Structure 1
């Protein structure tokens, strides 16, 4: 039996209406990108991942995505099945938009700030 109680630990208490995510972002802090999973396994991107650091099997304009993350609610993610293509909005990271990467090129050199 399931309950729809709005009381207790972890309960959501949401007022009627709409919430606009990242409403304070300017046009130059927004970009729309097309993502294609060219791999043979699902790929998942979390809400605060610096997009150029995403799995290399996910094709999209990484140069345009430098300093951006997906425009989705905090703590959520988007999943891309093999062969799936989707157009999604991204928003700029705040601050200097400098995010040292953890990806390595095929020659073992670290990719920093989306620049090889």
Structure 2
């Protein structure tokens, strides 16, 4: 049996989801961690797409409660009611957009599920890039991009507006001046005052990204590109333009 890397990944997702289901049937009130939630959501999308029971648009509205209903796991009380899955502290803040490449009847499509666990708590103490260390004198937050965090807050946010007809996703270290030309940056929420984003990147945790929906303006925070200040390739054609900051 010859499986491509893509097929092997799907098989691993299915195995992981089956393991989580067995754990839940043994302990219905088990609080799920990040990989367990991701496995359940991904497997649910893959199966619904494979059996052609839901469209891309319908799957984009998937919530963890939908997965719970599909598995029909009785609650611990044994009163005939189904369990609604709970998650560990911080998991809701870690999962914002879930993306699954699923095979539908008419081909393979990317399904993006925004906030499958509901909106995250903006004041949460646990989320990617920030955590708390317990010490004798209390709790101390460690923040990503710490050197530029205060400057970013002082300068204030920008608004990124997607003028295209499809979503645009920007990674944590992508040079903002070289993103899709349909993504515009402004200083004001009304999107009338253009902002200069040369030498800037998003103020988000490394390895994460921001997704801006079509015809939508989203508040973003930016920080300078550090290191050698070089952004090779992208939309820059002249190597002399790779240097983006002093």
- Using the size of structure 2 for normalisation, the TM-score is 0.35
How far residue 96 of structure 1 moved from its aligned partner, in angstroms, is 4.2
Q: 1:103 to 1:34 in 2, by over 3 A?
A: same
Residue number in structure 2 paired with 1:9: none
- Output one character per residue of 1:40-78: Cα deviation in whole Å (capped at 9) or x when no partner: 000000011011111001011586211111010111100
How far residue 101 of structure 1 moved from its aligned partner, in angstroms, is 4.5
Q: Distance in 2 between the 1:78 and 1:68 partners?
A: 14
Residue number in structure 2 paired with 1:88: 220
- In structure 2, runs of 5+ residues without a counterpart are 1-20, 25-29, 35-130, 134-138, 187-193
Among 5, 12, 20, the alignment partner of 2:143 is: 20
Which protein has greater RCO, CA pairs closer than 8 Å, 6+ apart?
Answer: 1
What secondary structure is seen at the aligned counterpart in 1 of 2:146? coil
Among 92, 97, 114, the alignment partner of 2:229 is: 97
- For the 8 Å contact 2:230–2:243, the answer to whether it is kept is no
- In structure 1, runs of 5+ residues without a counterpart are 7-13, 105-109
- For the 8 Å contact 2:175–2:201, the answer to whether it is kept is yes
What secondary structure is seen at the aligned counterpart in 1 of 2:177? helix
Q: Distance in 2 between the 1:68 and 1:39 partners?
A: 22
Q: Distance in 2 between the 1:97 and 1:63 partners?
A: 19
Structure 1 or 2: more helix by fraction: 2
How many correspondences in the alignment? 103
RMSD: 3.3
Please tell me whether residue 66 in structure 1 is matched to residue 198 in structure 2.
yes
- Using the size of structure 1 for normalisation, the TM-score is 0.68
Counterparts of residues 23-42 of structure 1 (less than 5 Å) = 23-25=146-148, 27=151, 32-42=157-167
